[in-house]
């Protein structure tokens, strides 16, 4: 790529756009990034669980590679943002789910991810506030937790240090190497990255994306109550199905001592309103697994909108209908985890580098965006 004019314009400075601006400017491309207001959308609502997720092989490869990139980022900038190595405990509620733990461990092991099976007693020892009678679990130590808006802001700052220009403006259209703002001005670049999250389809009409509203609840400070990110095995079913609204037990200990409680999914819902019956259902599920939560004070409830593709794999790379437009959208509930790998793959594509993982399963031009799930 010749870097005399602006090489790349990134639209959107959520964590995905910020990661793209960081990686590309670091790789010596000239970059402009547009957003207004910054960080106010899904990234500000996310849970920040950096998780190796195994809904499909493509997803596991992508999330695990991104975890390695997070590890490298933290080693390079050790005190730049909070990064808690909480690990994840996947909880098996009954014997049938416990069988699934063995399958999950084998799948992780096939991809070089270490994990250990916990008996019921070991589970109770690791998380004493889980209810008695659970069958066991799987501890995945490589998973960790960040505070998403903090990291997005760090990546944007670093991008600017590497020379990226940030412009606080709303983009009204993109295409054919141009970006137009609502005041009529235009900017040109060889490549424009659409990282606009839930509004990506306004800029690139025709993308097959679904909105999925989620709620989160945060408690007051109760340090030492929860030690790991603790998720029920049924979470994958909740994330996987588009058919119905769903909830799953998913709690995260914050470094402040607060406990973040999730999660819910309402497919086809993109408004930001707090839906009280859904919050009640989500909390009932959490209390079933961890009864102590029902006695804690909640200080805030909020929503965010995940953006999903039919096969739950993000769209990363050139759009079939305009090769000047690259897509960085559709990360559903994994966009914090996979922000860094998205940026790296796009940079590899633009610079003609060999990516560390095959990029084909993530390209917008992949043959089938459904039916790849294991």
List contacts with ligand FAD (CB under 6 A). 11-17, 34-36, 38-43, 45-49, 170-171, 195-199, 203, 214, 216, 304-306, 331, 333-337
Q: What is the DSSP letter of 13?
A: -
Tell me the closest approach of the beta carbon of residue 50 to ligand FAD, in angstroms.
6
CB atoms within 10 A of CB 281: 16
Tell me the closest approach of the beta carbon of residue 246 to ligand FAD, in angstroms.
13
Tell me the closest approach of the beta carbon of residue 301 to ligand FAD, in angstroms.
11
Query: What is the rounded CA–CA span in Å between residue 122 and residue 85?
Result: 19
- Cβ proximity to ligand FAD: between 41 and 248 the closer is 41
- Cβ proximity to ligand FAD: between 135 and 278 the closer is 278
Check if the beta carbon of residue 116 is closer than 8 Å to that of residue 138. Answer: yes
- Cβ proximity to ligand FAD: between 170 and 284 the closer is 170
- Cβ proximity to ligand FAD: between 34 and 65 the closer is 34
> Which H or E run contains 188?
strand 186-188
Tell me the closest approach of the beta carbon of residue 220 to ligand FAD, in angstroms.
20
- Cβ proximity to ligand FAD: between 42 and 86 the closer is 42
- Cβ proximity to ligand FAD: between 120 and 167 the closer is 167
Long-range contacts of 320-323 (CB under 8 A, 24+ apart): 320/364, 320/365, 321/206, 322/175, 322/176
Tell me the closest approach of the beta carbon of residue 85 to ligand FAD, in angstroms.
15
Helix (H, G, I), strand (E, B) or coil at 300: strand
The string over 219-247, giving b where at least 16 C-beta atoms fall within 10 Å of a residue's C-beta and e elsewhere, is beebeebbebbbbbbbbbebbeeeeebbb
- Cβ proximity to ligand FAD: between 36 and 220 the closer is 36
Tell me the closest approach of the beta carbon of residue 196 to ligand FAD, in angstroms.
4
Tell me the closest approach of the beta carbon of residue 35 to ligand FAD, in angstroms.
4
Residue 2, judged by CB atoms within 10 A of its CB (0-12, 13-18, 19+), counts as: exposed
With the C-alpha atoms ordered 84, 85, 88, 89, is the resulting torsion angle positive or negative?
Answer: negative
């Amino acid at each position: 790529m010749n870097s005399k004019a602006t090489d790349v314009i990134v639209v959107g400075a959520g964590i995905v756009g910020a990661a793209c601006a960081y990686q590309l400017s670091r790789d010596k491309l000239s970059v402009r990034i547009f957003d207004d207001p910054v960080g106010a959308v899904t990234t500000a609502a996310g849970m920040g669980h950096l998780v190796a997720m195994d809904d499909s092989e493509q997803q596991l490869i992508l999330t695990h590679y991104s975890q390695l990139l997070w590890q490298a980022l933290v080693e390079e900038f050790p005190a730049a943002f909070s990064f808690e190595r909480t690990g994840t405990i996947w909880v098996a509620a009954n014997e049938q789910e416990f069988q699934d733990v063995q399958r999950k461990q084998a799948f992780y092991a096939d991809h070089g991810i270490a994990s250990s099976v916990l008996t019921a007693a070991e589970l109770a020892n690791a998380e004493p506030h889980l209810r008695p009678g659970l069958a066991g679990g799987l501890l995945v130590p490589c998973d960790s937790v960040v505070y998403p808006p903090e990291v997005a802001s760090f990546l944007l700052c670093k991008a600017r240090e590497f020379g990226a220009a940030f412009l606080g403006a709303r983009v009204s259209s993109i295409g054919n190497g141009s970006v137009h703002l609502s005041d009529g001005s235009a900017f040109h670049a060889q490549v424009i990255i659409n990282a606009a999250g839930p509004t990506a389809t306004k800029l690139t009409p025709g993308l097959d994306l679904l909105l999925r509203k989620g709620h989160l609840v945060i408690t007051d400070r109760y340090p030492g109550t929860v030690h790991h990110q603790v998720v029920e095995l049924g979470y994958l079913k909740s994330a996987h199905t588009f058919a119905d609204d769903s909830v799953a037990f998913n709690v995260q200990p914050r470094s402040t001592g607060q406990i973040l409680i999730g999660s819910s999914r309402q497919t086809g819902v993109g408004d930001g309103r707090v839906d009280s019956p859904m919050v009640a259902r989500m909390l009932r599920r959490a209390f079933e697994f961890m009864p102590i939560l029902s006695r804690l004070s909640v200080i805030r409830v909020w929503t965010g909108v995940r953006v999903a593709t039919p096969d739950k794999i993000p769209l990363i790379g050139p759009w079939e209908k305009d090769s000047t437009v690259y897509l960085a959208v559709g990360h559903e509930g994994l966009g914090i985890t996979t922000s860094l790998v998205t940026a790296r793959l796009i940079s590899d594509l633009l610079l003609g580098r060999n990516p560390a993982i095959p990029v084909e399963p993530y390209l917008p031009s992949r043959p089938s965006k459904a039916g790849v799930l294991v």
